[in-house]
Amino acid sequence: MFERHPNDDRLSNANCIEGFAHCTSCFGQCPAGVTPREWARLEAGLTKRGMQIWCVRCEANLMHVDYEGQQHPVTTTRAKAGERVIDGGSH
């Protein structure tokens, strides 16, 4: 599901999200004229078992992924200011 950099085997630092996580409790309270992205107040972070997405507005768990003790490839790079991200890579 991860998009790879076109020139090598790195994970892309482009926004490759295909399905968004939204809090079902507060999503319906989103004011008219405000996008779900602007309304969202989410935190994501690593836990002892994997990764969790948390709704700050509702103080509620959206998703807690259990990595089942496995390690997974990760990229923490980002495009530099002024760089364009094209085809999954920085240019």
For the stretch 33-87, pLDDT in tens is 999 999 999 999 999 999 999 999 999 999 999 999 999 888 888 877 666 555 5
pLDDT-based confidence at 90, cuts 50/70/90? very low
* Span 17-39, average pLDDT: 93
- Half-sphere exposure of 7 toward its Cβ, with a 13 Å CA cutoff? 4
70 in Cβ contact with 56 (< 8 Å): no
In a domain, 83, yes or no: no
Q: What is the CA radius of gyration of the chain?
A: 16
The DSSP 8-state label assigned to residue 59 in this structure reads T
Q: Which domain holds residue 21?
A: 1-69
Question: In angstroms, rounded to a whole number, what is the distance separating the alpha carbons of residues 13 and 83?
Answer: 12
The per-residue pLDDT for 77 is 84
* Number of separate domains in the chain: 1
In a domain, 48, yes or no: yes
Predicted confidence (pLDDT) at residue 88 exceeds the cutoff of 60: no
- Asked if the structure places residue 28 within a domain, the reply is yes
Residue 17 lies in a domain: yes
13 Cβ contact list (under 8 Å, min separation 6): 75, 77, 78, 79, 85, 89, 90
Q: What is the pLDDT of residue 56?
A: 97
- Residue 24 domain-assigned? yes
Residue 78 lies in a domain: no
Q: Name the token pair of 33.
A: 């004229």
Strands, E assignment, 1-91: 42-46, 50-55, 60-66, 85-86, 89-90
Q: Is residue 60 part of a domain?
A: yes
Please check whether residue 82 lies inside any domain of the structure.
Answer: no
26-37 mean pLDDT: 94
